């Protein structure tokens, strides 16, 4: 956990900037790493609405105590981590819950974190790809697939201005465990950990950094929680060169949609049911080539591995 200090500092400096709060990366490290089961053996959770308020006057629990008692009454796992599952699912931290706020609560708490995912467990357009990493700017989430099966998902924070994280098809290319951002103002050093680049011209990377729970905030790169950045660092593949010539692209990446207007959410209530707001293209080729990508007729996008 030695790399968490810069993140903590960023939380302290910017805590008032985002009213929804920041992901507690150290606390949820083990929780979001609990993504080991095959999706064929995982049941998605069902959700119900819960009004955050003092439901029973006189029991001295108050809003927060009754909320904790409610989620503790649900069957399943993660007794000490349930509040964080609810926070990440609703994209707001508990210290920012407001009286009368409506929260989505799982009917049960399965052990595998993929059970709470807004991404489809299977994505047939990608069933021939060894690996595919999807960045959805609208929901500020990512989904990683192997042969069309979801293997990981999580929250992210992309460029605070829409075009800073350009949409399109890319490939992971080079990686570095530790770098300093060249976007830092004079006299400051912004450290990035577990960096994986997917657009070399502008230097757009996926990496660990302070992670607002519900808003784009970066200068163009894609921030992940520490656990997700480490996982992707070792999961995704780099490009391959022979005699200075690119012969194979790295793992394919898709950057989808525009930034949200206001707070990002990935669930919406329709007819009393939670509906995912993640929308994936029906065909991979419907996503245009990204600006300054490494895609070419000699080394096509699908050569990625």
Note down the domain range covering 157. 116-303
Can you give the pLDDT at residue 187? 66
Give yes or no for a contact between 204 and 198, defined as CB atoms under 8 angstroms apart: yes
32 — alpha (psi -120 to 50), left (phi > 0) or beta?
Answer: alpha
Task: Say whether both 181 and 214 belong to one domain.
Answer: yes
The mean pLDDT value for 54-62 works out to 88
Number of folded domains in the chain?
A: 2
Task: Say whether both 153 and 278 belong to one domain.
Answer: yes
The mean pLDDT value for 197-224 works out to 94
Neighbouring residues of 20: CB distance < 8 A, sequence distance ≥ 6: 91, 92, 93, 96, 212, 213, 214, 215, 263
Task: Say whether both 83 and 223 belong to one domain.
Answer: no
Question: How does residue 272 score in pLDDT terms, banded at 50, 70 and 90?
Answer: confident
Domain boundary among the residues 77, 109, 141 is at 109
Is the pLDDT at 185 greater than 60? The verdict is no
Task: Say whether both 186 and 221 belong to one domain.
Answer: yes
Is the pLDDT at 128 greater than 90? The verdict is yes
Query: Coil, strand or helix: which one is 152?
Result: strand
Residue 28 counted as domain residue: no
Can you give the pLDDT at residue 4? 42
Domain boundary among the residues 93, 109, 125 is at 109
Can you give the pLDDT at residue 297? 78
Q: Give this prediction's pTM.
A: 0.91
């Amino acid at each position: 956990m030695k790399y968490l200090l810069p993140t903590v500092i960023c939380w302290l400096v910017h805590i008032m900037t985002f009213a929804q709060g920041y992901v507690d990366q150290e606390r949820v490290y083990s929780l979001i790493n609990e993504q080991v089961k095959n999706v064929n053996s995982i049941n998605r959770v069902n959700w119900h609405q819960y009004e955050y308020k003092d439901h029973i006057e006189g029991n001295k629990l108050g809003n927060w105590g009754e909320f904790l008692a409610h989620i503790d009454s649900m069957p399943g796992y993660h007794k000490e981590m349930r509040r964080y599952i609810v926070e990440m699912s609703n994209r707001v931290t508990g210290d920012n819950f407001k009286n009368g706020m409506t929260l989505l609560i799982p009917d049960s708490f399965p052990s595998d974190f993929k059970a709470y995912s807004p991404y489809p467990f299977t994505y047939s357009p990608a069933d021939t790809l060894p690996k595919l990493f999807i960045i959805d700017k609208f929901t500020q989430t990512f989904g990683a697939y192997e042969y069309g099966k979801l293997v990981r998902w999580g929250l992210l924070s992309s460029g605070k201005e829409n075009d800073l994280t350009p949409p399109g098809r890319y490939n992971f290319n080079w990686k570095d465990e530790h770098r300093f951002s060249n976007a830092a103002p004079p006299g400051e050093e912004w450290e990035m950990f577990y960096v994986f680049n997917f657009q070399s011209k502008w230097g757009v990377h996926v990496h660990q950094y302070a992670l607002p729970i519900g808003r784009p905030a970066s200068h163009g790169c894609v921030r992940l929680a520490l656990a997700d950045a480490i996982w992707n660092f070792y999961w995704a593949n780099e490009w391959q060169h022979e005699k200075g010539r690119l012969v194979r692209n790295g793992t394919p990446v898709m950057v989808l949609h525009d930034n949200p207007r206001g707070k990002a959410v990935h669930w919406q209530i329709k007819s009393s049911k939670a509906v995912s707001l993640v929308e994936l293209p029906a065909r991979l080729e419907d996503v245009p080539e990204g600006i300054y990508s490494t895609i070419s007729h000699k080394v096509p996008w699908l050569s990625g591995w």
